[in-house]
Structure 1
Amino acid sequence: MALRVALPLVGAVFFLAAAAVVASNEEGDALYALRTRLSDPDGMLQSWDPTLVNPCTWFHVTCDHASRVVRLDLGNSNVSGSIGPELGRLVNLQYLELYRNNLNGEIPNELGNLKNLISLDLYANKLTGTIPKSLSKLNSLRFMRLNNNKLAGSIPRELAKLSNLKVIDLSHNDLCGTIPVDGPFSAFPLQSFENNSRLNGPELQGLVPYDFGC
């Protein structure tokens, strides 16, 4: 009888362990895809070895108890290149720290898949294009800092749905139109949007938003 009880338990443990390995392998593949996109003159990514079972031993990568990647911290690492859509596969990620580098290209729409993301720090790079509307799906997001880039276009009104957002910084870009006033935007200081020469200030309450100059 004891053997009959133990076998299902062993099977369950094995299944959970195998599932964790599969998940970590997928996350390792996503991170290594990012690695191939980046120029790394200071060797910050030299530990990113795709032959390892999972990426939890790589520098600048933090995992939880189940070997799932929850933090990627490459802030101020002197890397350059594009971000790429692969990061959207890191569905357990909570902190994405890529600030103060030389990253270029657009912010991938796929970052909207990171439903557990708490902090998105892409500031002080050379990112272009628009702010993806898909970021409005990040319901856990509390901090969004995209300042000091070359982002253009209007501020997506969909971002007003981010009820947990406490800090936003879109300053020092080339954004245009008006600033939303709904949801968390009602509490953000104007300093969060300064030095966007084509941004025309907050929307007037009760009026349909109009993106002047966009």
Structure 2
Amino acid sequence: MEFLRLIMLTIIVVGVEVAANSEGDALYALRRNLNDPLNVLQSWDPTLVNPCTWFHVTCDRQNRVTRLDLGNARLSGTLVGDLGKLTSLQYLELYKNDIRGEIPKELGNLKSLISLDLYQNNLTGRIPASLGDLKSLRFLRLNGNKLTGRIPRRLTNLSSLKILDVSDNDLCGTIPVSGAFSKFSQKSFENNQRLKGPELIGSVVYNLGCSYP
């Protein structure tokens, strides 16, 4: 029995280390894509057993990454789809940087995510419809970027969503009013010159100035 317990413990430990290494690889992929003039990522050493000792990274008792705090860190560069491998991540804080490019659709794999803060960067492209799969999401702040296209209708299914801000972008189409969107004011959508609303105006206005993907 003691031998069996040792085997089981070994399997568990190895499994945790493999998961931690995988998450460390995902975070290091992000580091390689970012310029870091303040060296806030200096401790992100891929040779360590897991990333839980890195600055700005928080883990749970199983050494799974639950929080990434890199707001207002003067980072530039692009995001990576590898972030979607951080399946226990609850808080992704990358606001007030100079991050460019598109929001990876792989962020829709972060089923534990509570807060996604990418505001005040230089992100372009569309809001991924895959974000509508984040059923635990309460805070979604994408304001102050250069995002284009329509607001994905799948986002209206986010019943836990408490705060939404997509203002100060270049979104188009009409503003959804169903589901979670019924409680958000015009302030959540302001300063999108091609965005019309509310959606009750009708489908003709919905297509005006906004091409389909």
Q: TM-score higher than 0.5 here?
A: yes
Alpha-carbon distance in 2 for matches of 1:84, 1:50: 17
Which of the numbers 45, 48, 54 marks the counterpart of 1:49? Answer: 45
| Structure 1 counterpart SS, 2:207 | coil
Q: Structure 1 residue 14: deviation in Å?
A: 1.4
Which residue matches 2:16?
20
Say if 1:82 and 1:103, in contact at 8 Å, map to a contact too.
yes
Q: Could you give the per-residue CA deviations for residues 122-169 of structure 1, whole angstroms, max 9, x where no partner exists?
A: 000000000001111111111100000000111011111111111110
Which residue matches 2:138?
142
Tell me the TM-score normalized by structure 1.
Answer: 0.95
How is 1:83-162 mapped onto 2 (pairs within 5 angstroms)?
Answer: 83-162=79-158
Does 8-17 or 58-67 show the bigger shift? 8-17
How is 1:31-50 mapped onto 2 (pairs within 5 angstroms)?
Answer: 31-50=27-46
| Structure 2 counterpart SS, 1:81 | strand
1:187 aligns with 2:183: yes
1:213 aligns with 2:209: yes
Task: Calculate percent identity across the aligned residue pairs.
Answer: 62
1:60 aligns with 2:80: no
| Structure 2 counterpart SS, 1:13 | helix
Which residue matches 1:76?
72
Alpha-carbon distance in 2 for matches of 1:165, 1:12: 40
Which residue matches 2:167?
171
Alpha-carbon distance in 1 for matches of 2:208, 2:86: 37
Alpha-carbon distance in 1 for matches of 2:160, 2:208: 28
1:29 aligns with 2:20: no
Alpha-carbon distance in 2 for matches of 1:39, 1:213: 35
Q: Structure 1 residue 170: deviation in Å?
A: 0.2
Say if 1:154 and 1:211, in contact at 8 Å, map to a contact too.
no
Q: What stretches of structure 2 of length at least 5 have no aligned partner?
A: none
Tell me the TM-score normalized by structure 2.
Answer: 0.95
1:201 aligns with 2:197: yes
Residue identity opposite 1:184 in structure 2: A
| Structure 2 counterpart SS, 1:204 | helix
Q: Structure 1 residue 211: deviation in Å?
A: 2.9
Say if 1:90 and 1:114, in contact at 8 Å, map to a contact too.
yes
Q: Structure 1 residue 208: deviation in Å?
A: 4.7
Residue identity opposite 2:12 in structure 1: L
What's the C-alpha RMSD, in Å, of the aligned pairs? 1.1
Q: What stretches of structure 1 of length at least 5 have no aligned partner?
A: none
Alpha-carbon distance in 2 for matches of 1:71, 1:102: 20
